[in-house]
Structure 1
């Protein structure tokens, strides 16, 4: 059964309701009446009409104020309001529109105009409702997809654990040098997969607000030194030199140690991946004199990032420019951005001169 459109008519004079009832009775609408602001709000608390016809001149609280209050309630905002006014000055009409009214009708009312404007507003309301339903359905489908994706990702932990354990057991047997190298390659790939799974699950928690930070005073100077040491073998293999400017700690940041350390690791790993052999990477920890912050700059000599990609590369699955032989999932920088945002900090990118990029982390200090 198709539901009839519901219209709330608000006027302090009951005779006005009779006029509108006479004009609209053939349209099949459900008509309701309220004589003042109190009755309007009481009605809206129990039932939401598809349209409100609201008189401007009211004894207790005028129609403009009623309209403004209605539009301040999120659940009531979608209800279109047509103001009925005998005051046809531009100032009055402007007040109605500023209060949130969608349309207005001047007194004395014209039956033809009333029916036309009512049909128009109800048509817009139907379009809004259909769009909202479509949006809700899309959000439900996206949520279902996310839930299924992360369930699968979580379940990948078991086979990766088995692979890693098997590699350890095989390394305890009599293997040739070549066999040992292959087993170590498999183990390294398993570790990389496990880190990727950890990042995906952590990103899901950050997005949903379920990941609780464990803030404590962090010495970024010491942390950067530790991260640089971790990548010693990797930079030697690729023949990259890492230069550092790391002053003694001047102020601490309040942050989740493990999360910030992973951000630093991701940014240095990125710099190494996209820098050519025999190039240099500069990492600088900065304690600005005039700011209560700490900054860490990662300056590489790669191909840089095009201006049109400088924002999109921080989104999930956005890889920017593709590079042959470099694994790109589009998750590393998205993870970094989420973590820094969760700390109310800033992650930005600028061009390095004459070539490359500079990624900068800025966190509030203690």
Structure 2
């Protein structure tokens, strides 16, 4: 049996609550009352109402301040708020809307108007809840598919390794190597999705170790030797002297660098260069930069390039999924760091990771 819609009434005057209770008694709502903003916040920390009726004029911590606080909290920002006010000036109503209120009603409260506005807010809340349920179902299905992809991919990798041991013609061996390389790329994408899913559900735990990033950098450069040679791109690198170690998750950070370099090489024109830098600045643990000479990224794209499935500007003939940079952002932020992008004048982009 479905629970009745819940309405939280925040007002410092108990008599006002009794008036609203009388006006709504036939609606069958679950009504709760908070006498102050502090009491309302205590209530929200325990329960989540479907609609909030919020009095604008309260002593000390008023309704506008409370509305601001509710709307900036990611756990509560979706809750519809109807501001109840004796003020009718357009400036006051604009103040309510600027604070994040979804609607307002003037005192003395009219029963027909109150019931209509609450029903409107309940429809909005129901639409939000249905959308969230749909998104969660899609996310659960995606995660299930991602998990299930690991087994067949492992079988492909194992079969390729066996084929490499067989007597093959050079062209056949090259095809096996291509399948192996692409399969490893698929495994990397699947692992990125798994990590993104874990980070978003707070299930991801970094496994910190002491790491020499100079050694890691040389390993990464070696891994990319074949692809830069094939694309006729010059890979320049600048690393600090070996010996200094920092405390990071080596597997995750290695994959961040892999993603940034892979993108730089992929979007750089034939014959250009990509620069890979690692340094230990005085104001941070480590700074990593990947600089390319590609077509660059527009200001609009830079605002959303780190979002999942965003591919920036489409490039014909270049596979773009939109997961690599989303993974990088989540992985870097999990380390307590930042990742940013800027133009590389006269052409290209500079990606900077600071931890």
TM-score of the pair, normalised by structure 2: 0.75
Q: Distance between the aligned counterparts of 2:162 and 2:113, measured in 1?
A: 74
**Equivalent residue, structure 1, for 2:160:** 167
CA deviation after TM superposition for structure 1 residue 228, in Å: 1.2
1:37–1:230 Cα change, 3 Å = closer
User: Which deviates more, 184-193 or 136-145?
Assistant: 184-193
**Aligned: 1:236 with 2:217:** no
Where does structure 1 lack aligned partners over 5 or more consecutive residues?
57-62, 106-112
Q: Contact 1:163/1:190 (CA < 8 Å) preserved in 2? A: yes
Q: Deviations over 1:219-243 (max 9, x none)?
A: 3333222211221122222222122
Deviation per CA, 1:335-355, whole angstroms, max 9, x where unpaired? 111111111211111111221
Show CA shifts across 1:42-97 (max 9, x none).
Answer: 9x89998978798x8xxxxxx6469769978888x85756468xxx9x9xx99xx8
Give secondary structure in 2 for the equivalent of 1:193: helix
Cα distance in 2 for residues equivalent to 1:195 and 1:47 = 39
C-alpha separation between the residues in 2 aligned to 1:46 and 1:354? 55
- 1:36–1:185 CA distance, 2 compared to 1 (3 A): closer
The residue matched to 2:129 in structure 1 has which SS? Answer: helix
Partner of 1:344: 336
Give the aligned partner of residue 333 of structure 1.
325
Contact 1:294 1:362 (8 Å CA) reproduced: yes
CA-CA distance at 1:293 after TM superposition = 3.8
Deviation at 1:359, TM superposition (A): 0.8
Contact 2:53/2:84, CA 8 A, preserved across alignment: yes
1:355 is the counterpart of 2:347: yes
- List structure 1 segments (4+ residues) > 6 angstroms apart after TM superposition: 3-10, 24-27, 29-36, 44-54, 69-75
Deviations 1:245-269 (A, max 9, x none): 2222696543211101100111111
Shift of 1:172: 3.1
Pick which of 27-36 and 317-326 moved more. 27-36
1:28 Cα deviation from its structure 2 partner: 5.0
Match of 2:308 among 301, 316, 319: 316
Q: Deviations over 1:295-324 (max 9, x none)?
A: 111111111112211122211111112223
Aligned equivalent of 2:299: 307
Alignment map for 1:1-366 (pairs within 5 Å): 28=26, 64=59, 80=82, 82=84, 105=107, 114-115=109-110, 118-248=111-241, 252-289=245-282, 291-363=283-355
In structure 2, C-alpha distance between the alignment counterparts of 1:331 and 1:33, rounded to whole Å? 45
Long gaps (5+) in structure 2: none
Mapped contact 2:339–2:354 kept (Cα < 8 A) = yes
RMSD in angstroms over aligned alpha carbons?
4.4
**1:183 Cα offset (Å):** 2.2
Q: Following the alignment from structure 2 to structure 1, what is the Cα–Cα distance between the partners of residues 260 and 272?
A: 16
Mark the CA change 1:183 to 1:131 in structure 2 (over 3 Å): closer, same or farther.
Answer: same
Distance 1:67 1:31, change over 3 A: farther
User: Cα offset for 1:12?
Assistant: 7.2
Separation in structure 1 between the aligned mates of residue 8 and residue 273 of structure 2, nearest angstrom: 71
Residue 170 of structure 1 and its aligned partner are, at CA, apart by 2.8
- C-alpha distance 81-346 of structure 1, shift in aligned 2 (>3 A): closer
Q: Secondary structure at the residue paired with 1:156? A: helix
- Distance of aligned partners of 1:325 and 1:294 in 2 relative to their CA distance in 1, 3 Å threshold: same
- Structure with max Cα Rg: 1
2-structure distance, mates of 1:203, 1:80: 36
Report the TM-score, using the length of structure 1 for normalisation. Answer: 0.73
SS in 1 for 2:352: strand
